[in-house]
Structure 1
């Protein structure tokens, strides 16, 4: 991976800022002004430290209910924010689980951007990328081990320990060449609401997520949990709508998300705006709901992150108990997946949940996929569903 600049940030010359949620009208004029990264060895509360760092660089986010200040072309535009699943677990006092498989990837990254000269026409093509080659993915567990983990969750549900647990698998492949064009291809996958990239020294993340972890617009917090998957055929859509198991799993997570937002919302303002809407991502139908609430006065970014991270749709219910099972069952850390990635600025937050996400270190490209397990789950069907979710991401990363 090439390095550009004194801080060693990996990038491609001429590319616009690729962070999901970055303002469309500003992307070609954004330049990095400051960066902060956090790993567990650094200590402290990463949410509080991220909020402090942003404020110190012209992005005060200590009261999200305040109207946004007028956009200053000479000041900070906003910041890309990445929070890993492990960091989210730390915020709620849960075990982090297995080690992060992506060498050098921080658990939190904040990149502040200001405005600079626009990118000259044609600059994106001025420096051709090093040819990309990706080897065969090696799974971190066998289908049988994955199925056994599903069975272990069902046993825990039978004991009354939990109601639902999201189980995630990992795979990695060797690569050579410049990874950013390949990661950027994820943004073009159909339904990638949070398509984009973020890179640092020796690591990069590519996201094709359709799921909103949390959005702040006009003083209202919004989350859009996704639960329930079928092939994107007419029969698959009908089956998803008719499935009592999928609807029960979905409603359980909607209730969890309502509770998460209620902790940081004005009393009585939480509502379900849409329930079990079927939408398409690549060749899959998925069920999505929309939950919203009025932001409470004095709510800061740090408290919001503590309330919503890690996302309920990728943990389970109750969230804290589900995280204990995640840490015990998954043999490889979730790395860049099942966390948050997006854009923050005064008066505006837009963070996607990093499902359908890949990451690279200096040698390997990593992908993750999984699903929510309930008492009604069939282990072999859950293994097949995870493979179906990973397939479009793996295909977009193909090279030769």
Structure 2
């Protein structure tokens, strides 16, 4: 099994580990111990290989129902895990779609962290180079985006799908150190999975509010988000009253219930909260909570195959929606619409990488989209995607 040594920006002196979900009490004492990355050319099952790699480095995740052992303050703490949307599609045998636009970004990354001597208070790394970001160039025009929405509506009319999430991409040139800008993105209000992950020639910044899957006390949890309005009193009332948004939301909740049922104890799946309104930046969004008791003997690899790619960023039925996505989106989803978070024995916390940006050596990339149903208005969907992207682009603004 090929693995890559520590090479991430997060290992520089004076920087705390930025991966979403890393234990708050350990962040300043974590040191990268080992790293594994996967690209399609490497072959094999990336979920199985990730589980094997983690086990080989002191993180056995082959039976998630087993209680977590005592946390070893001198040993391995856990690992950051990133799984792209393309890797998730591969796990379920679907087309990965268009090529990843982020040069050098792997499709799966596992970074194992142990405890070190800690970072002295006030310690800093090398001075950051000045950041400058150019103007974003869209990968499709608003008209092309609207046409893709219309194409999905036509597919729904034929009975091919019930819902499809359509995502657009934009990129801009940059110079300087990208990590401070990505860290600003990670600090946006409502970013439950705010964080960063970096490697040689690439970095990811995430401001996601959405839980793909969480394992706490033997129970699996997912929190799908569907439905968006401006964060005003009128916007909240409109979201709660929208039959279209509620129908779209419930459809994805049912999909997530089915995904969890594949890896749960029989009869344990339940909807704990339905269509709750939460705030992210200047937007209201509707969120539900679905949970289930983890089945005995369930390993990380099978869990990833069940929940990746996330239902709220694919559609229903999932495989048919992925076929439409591959046919319609001209640029790959790259770092977006995948999974990013933390894994350790007895604890998993992976966010869905919506509201996410990535950089390669020359460009910063952003994505935004939304779920399309028969009741969708093409121009309104284009406007909603722009509203979701606006805080991300503002956080990445250059001087």
Cα deviation code 1:142-173 (max 9, x no counterpart): 00000000000000000000000000000000
Task: Report how far residue 75 of structure 1 moved.
Answer: 1.7
Deviations 1:18-52 (A, max 9, x none): 00000000000000000000000000000000000
1:11–1:199 Cα contact (<8 Å) kept: no
| Unmatched segments (≥5 aa) in structure 2 | none
CA distance in 2, matches of 1:322, 1:349: 27
**Residue aligned with 1:197, SS:** strand
Normalising by the residue count of structure 2, what TM-score does the alignment of the two structures yield? 0.98
Match in the other structure for 1:71: 71
Give the deviation of 1:127 after TM superposition.
2.8
Distance 1:7 1:304, change over 3 A: same
Q: Structure 2 vs 1, CA of residues 82 and 4 (structure 1 numbering), >3 Å: closer, same or farther?
A: closer
Does structure 1 conserve the Cα–Cα contact (< 8 Å) formed by 2:11 and 2:32? no
Q: Contact 1:32/1:114 (CA < 8 Å) preserved in 2? A: yes
CA shift, 1:3, in A, is 17
Where 2:11 maps in the other structure, the secondary structure is coil
Q: Matched residue pairs, number?
A: 399
Gaps of 5+ in 1: none
After the TM superposition, which parts of structure 1 deviate over 3 Å for at least 4 consecutive aligned residues?
A: 1-13
- How far residue 175 of structure 1 moved from its aligned partner, in angstroms, is 0.2
Note if contact 2:340-2:350 (Cα within 8 Å) is conserved in structure 1. Answer: yes
Cα RMSD of the aligned pairs, angstroms, is: 2.3
1:159-205 per-residue CA deviation (whole Å, 9 max, x = no partner) reads: 00000000000000000000000000112111000000000000000
Q: Is the 8 A contact 1:3 1:11 kept in 2?
A: no
**Alignment partner, residue 116 of structure 1:** 116
Post-superposition Cα deviations, 1:72-99, rounded to whole Å, max 9, x if no partner, equal 1222100000000000000000000000
Alpha carbons 2:10, 2:18 under 8 Å: kept: no
**1:5 CA drift (Å):** 8.3
Shift of 1:11: 5.3
Change (3 A) 1:283 1:2: farther
* Worse-superposed segment, 11-20 or 321-330: 11-20
1:105 CA displacement: 0.1
CA displacement, residues 215-263 of structure 1 (integer Å, 9 cap, x when unaligned): 0000000000000000000000000000000000000000000000000
Q: Distance in 2 between matches of 1:351 and 1:3?
A: 22
3-state SS of paired residue (2:263): coil
Task: Answer whether contact 1:4 1:10 (CA < 8 A) is retained.
Answer: no
- Do the aligned partners of 1:2 and 1:11 also contact (CA within 8 Å) in 2? no
Match of 1:24 in 2: 24
Relative to structure 1, the CA distance from residue 175 to residue 12 in structure 2 (aligned partners, 3 Å threshold; closer, same or farther) is: farther
The CA distance in 2 between the partners of 1:216 and 1:69, in whole Å, is: 15
Q: Which residue of 2 aligns with 1:169?
A: 168
Shift of 1:399: 1.1
Task: From the superposition, tell whether residues 231 and 55 of structure 1 become closer, same or farther in structure 2 (CA, over 3 Å).
Answer: same
The answer to whether the 8 A contact 1:84-1:340 is kept is yes
| Deviates most, 129-138 or 10-19 | 10-19
CA distance in 1, matches of 2:54, 2:19: 16
CA 1:381–1:13: 2 relative to 1, 3 Å: same
Separation in 2, partners of 1:309, 1:58: 24
Residue pair 1:356, 1:368 contacting (<8 A) in 2 also: yes
Map of 1:138-149 to 2, 5 A cutoff? Answer: 138-149=137-148
- For normalisation by structure 1, the TM-score amounts to 0.98
